[in-house]
Amino acid sequence: DGGITQSPKYLFRKEGQNVTLSCEQNLNHDAMYWYRQDPGQGLRLIYYSQIVNDFQKGDIAEGYSVSREKKESFPLTVTSAQKNPTAFYLCASPNLSGNTIYFGEGSWLTVV
Amino acid sequence: AQTVTQSQPEMSVQEAETVTLSCTYDTSESDYYLFWYKQPPSRQMILVIRQEAYKQQNATENRFSVNFQKAAKSFSLKISDSQLGDAAMYFCAYRASYNNNDMRFGAGTRLTVKP
What confidence tier does B96 reach under pLDDT thresholds 50, 70, 90?
confident
* A9 contacts: CB under 8 Å, gap ≥ 6: A105, A106, A107, A108
Across A71-85, B7-21, B43-57, B89-103, least confident range: B89-103
The pLDDT score that the predictor gives to residue B29 is: 86
The pLDDT score that the predictor gives to residue B100 is: 58
Q: Which residues of B touch A99 (CB under 8 A)?
A: 33, 50, 52, 95, 97
Q: Which residues of B touch A92 (CB under 8 A)?
A: 45, 103
- Does any CB of chain B come closer than 8 Å to the CB of residue A58? no
The pLDDT score that the predictor gives to residue A100 is: 86
The pLDDT score that the predictor gives to residue B1 is: 54
Has residue A3 got a pLDDT over 70? yes
User: Which residues of A1-112 form beta strands (DSSP E)?
Assistant: 4-7, 10-13, 19-25, 32-37, 43-51, 54-57, 64-66, 76-78, 87-94, 101-103, 107-111
Nearest-CA distance from B63 to chain A in Å?
21
The pLDDT score that the predictor gives to residue B2 is: 62
